[in-house]
Structure 1
């Protein structure tokens, strides 16, 4: 899927907005929530809008095993207990301490290119950087990153997803079976990793998890599988997307790129604007636990509700001139990392990795040009990220 298809998603979202910030989509068989305040209300009320969609998909043992520790798809109180176990590992202060390592890894990856004037930004930097960092945090061999990438590609590449496809189709038996083999391989790999740490706990996040207690009880190996797998995948894929999207956005907006080069202090705000306009995960699904009201409309209990982060981030009621790429936008209350109790626990790390990587890139190369025609993107209805981003560079 090449870059020219990306606007199709945003065109569809703006056309959908004509039906109201909240409306029922007959084709997708769910409630579509597009407005910023409405999306915030859904995500901020986990008791009314549950993250647990397990009963919408057929039971499959490999997925069931992974879900035991996947706190992203859990509701309170279990969600809160499990999230607390890793929250201290992702505080801004702890993450800031990783800055030297992130700088070193970024420099080493670019050094390995041996002065090449053309390379793939995703293959050579945006993917390996965050994988190495999160693997080291978890105590998993970073050398296995080609395996991790294959897992991510299998789980996030859903070519069938689109405006005419019911969301529940992505949870049906055929879709579940398509990823079952990958889930089985991932579970087996992680179980071996967890058991090794159980026998000899290391000074890493997995070592902490095998000794931690939730609600007074130690986590089972099976629960830790989902825990570690979630952190491994989510701990790299958002940064990969953000870094690739930032390079692509600055290439599309040369004036903004020149401003950032002239004043690197603008880089954090520029990254936030990229996160707003190129939201890596465009939507989040919830299910109403009781009869509810969203945006003044009644939503029956049991209905699927889709909160479109990508649309909320372009809501003209909140963002002035919402389609403009403005690296000086302030405030910028985008919802890219979610809202409420499920706010992305890795957001500080993703922001730091993207900033440091961009700083190193801009210092090392005085020109970075994207080969748009050769760029490849995932299906944007699933995830907005390049999987191939060839660039030509001129050393500084």
Structure 2
């Protein structure tokens, strides 16, 4: 697989995001003051134990970024532990129930056709701007109850949530540019909050059948959510309901392009598509690392990690652990089992996983129907977002035949 990807001029170390299990399953980065977990069973153990491995990073990070811990994590599902996490998660779960997802199928199919029609392509188009970005943005905007026409704003806000350098994870002190990057992210969030404020006020006066109305009128522990909490929850939904699908679509096409035999098989037998998506998720997880903080001394892979330590769980490496996956470097749709950790495990399992899989299956089926041939263009290799958390194509031009 790496041979094909090298042809795109992508640095192997950056592309795989530590996507191979090293000799040491757990190691310590003294410069960054953080522990790295690479093995699959070890990762499962960390992600499945929120009592010992907390998601409340702000306990350690607040001092580094000059923020108040309680204020910084208000409504932050990604950084909350039970019981607050359980109660807030329950509020947004109903936006992704099996019934809601099933009801969305016709709309997703219709949008896919509309977006491809609008691309007006005959022999080439850019996948991300034409389909992979706008499709999930429109869907999540309609679920929230805000105008899908603002999708460019949504994209900017969503991408502002993603750190772009490895220093973003470090507790070793302030790095050059870190304060500026943090301030820029906060400005984007303030802008998003200002944008949502008029819709929140409108839903207070005139509730609708959308997620914002549900959040505005919901109570947790006998109290209504603050505007900041609702905005932060919307941030999470924007991230979970938008970027996961955008990256899933692009990365699945990249995997198939690198393996034309598998591409031909799935075209001939569409029942194989869910397996292709799952193997693409394993090989190229949209987010290849997640973070926890120890609440007490903990043992992981035979290594003792002290309390109050930053723990990096490398999903990209865990997904290629040879103790769990036979020939992990091979792209092999139909692995059974395929217990990849791309959508995490435990209480923080990605809330948008079902929606991403659904949108991916529908959109890819339609792409295959409309274009008998799809391939990357050697002279126009994919352009990737460089990030310490993930790597996906933000520009993917494809040659197609109708």
Gaps of 5+ in 2: 1-5
Among residues 369, 392, 396, which one is paired with 1:385 in the alignment?
Answer: 392
1:9-88 to 2 correspondences below 5 Å: 9=14, 13=18, 17-18=22-23, 20-55=24-59, 56-57=61-62, 58-60=65-67, 67-88=73-94
The counterpart of 1:315, out of the listed 321, 327, 334, is 321
Aligned counterpart, 2:10: 5
2:348 is matched with 342
CA distance in 2, matches of 1:361, 1:15: 32
Equivalent residue for 1:374, pick from 372, 381, 385? 381
Q: What are the superposed Cα offsets for residues 227-278 of structure 1, whole Å, 9 maximum, x if unpaired?
A: 1122123210000000010111111110000000010000000000000000
| Aligned counterparts of 1:335 and 1:272: Cα–Cα separation in 2 | 11
Report the number of matched residues: 390
Give the deviation of 1:173 after TM superposition: 2.9
Partner of 1:121: 127
Distance in structure 2 (CA, Å) of the matches to 1:52 and 1:26: 21
Q: Pick one of 293, 296, 302 that aligns with 1:290.
A: 296
| Structure 2 residue 98 is the aligned partner of structure 1 residue 97 | no
TM-score (norm 1): 0.93
For the residues of structure 1 that align with 2:204 and 2:186, how far apart are their CA atoms? Answer: 26
CA pair 138-39 structure 1, distance change in 2 beyond 3 A:
same
Q: Is the 8 A contact 1:279 1:309 kept in 2?
A: yes
2:257 to 251, 257, 261: 251
Is 2:153 the partner of 1:155?
Answer: no
Residues 240 and 95 (structure 1), Cα distance of their counterparts in 2 relative to 1, 3 Å cut: same
The equivalent residue for 2:147 is 141
Cα gap change, 1:167/1:266 in structure 2, threshold over 3 Å: closer, same or farther? Answer: farther
- Determine the C-alpha separation between the residues in 2 that align with 1:293 and 1:175: 34
User: Contact 1:30 / 1:303 at 8 angstroms: preserved in 2?
Assistant: yes
Alpha-carbon offset, residue 306 of structure 1: 0.5
* Distance of 1:6 and 1:387 partners within structure 2: 16
Q: Hey, what's the Cα distance between the residues in 2 that align with 1:183 and 1:247?
A: 32
Task: Quickly say closer, same or farther: Cα 1:11–1:282, change in 2 above 3 A.
Answer: closer
Displacement of 1:371 after TM fit?
A: 2.3
Residue 149 of structure 1 deviates from its aligned partner by 1.3
In the alignment, the residues of structure 2 paired with residue 86 and residue 36 of structure 1 have an alpha-carbon distance, to the nearest angstrom, of: 29
Provide the secondary structure at the position in 1 that maps to 2:166: coil
Question: Which range moves more in the overlay, 269-278 or 69-78?
Answer: 69-78
Residue of structure 1 equivalent to 2:279: 273
Q: Which residue of structure 1 lines up, in the alignment, with residue 330 of structure 2?
A: 324
Distance 2:133 2:19 in 1: 31
Give, in angstroms, the shift of residue 177 of structure 1: 1.7
Question: Tell me, which stretches of 5 or more residues in structure 1 are unaligned?
Answer: none
Aligned twin of 2:3: none
Cα distance, 1:95 vs structure 2:
1.0
Give the 3-state SS of the residue equivalent to 1:316 in structure 2. coil
In structure 1, C-alpha distance between the alignment counterparts of 2:215 and 2:135, rounded to whole Å: 24
Is 1:355 the counterpart of 2:361 in the alignment?
A: yes
Query: Alpha-carbon deviation of 1:9?
Result: 3.3
Which residue pairs with 2:225 in the alignment?
219
- Give 1:8 deviation, angstroms: 1.3
The alpha carbon displacement at 1:113 in A equals 1.9
1:175 Cα offset (Å): 3.1
Deviates more, 1:357-366 or 1:167-176: 167-176
- The range that moved more, 247-256 or 369-378, is 369-378
Change (3 A) 1:14 1:272: closer
Mark the CA change 1:115 to 1:13 in structure 2 (over 3 Å): closer, same or farther: closer
Superposed CA RMSD: 2.2
Contact 1:245 1:274 in 2 (8 A): yes
| TM-score (norm. length: structure 2) | 0.91
- 8 Å Cα contact 2:15/2:391 also seen in 1: no
Q: Sort the Cα spacing of 1:247 and 1:177 in 2 relative to 1 into closer, same or farther, 3 A.
A: same
Greater mean deviation of Cα atoms: 184-193 or 252-261: 184-193
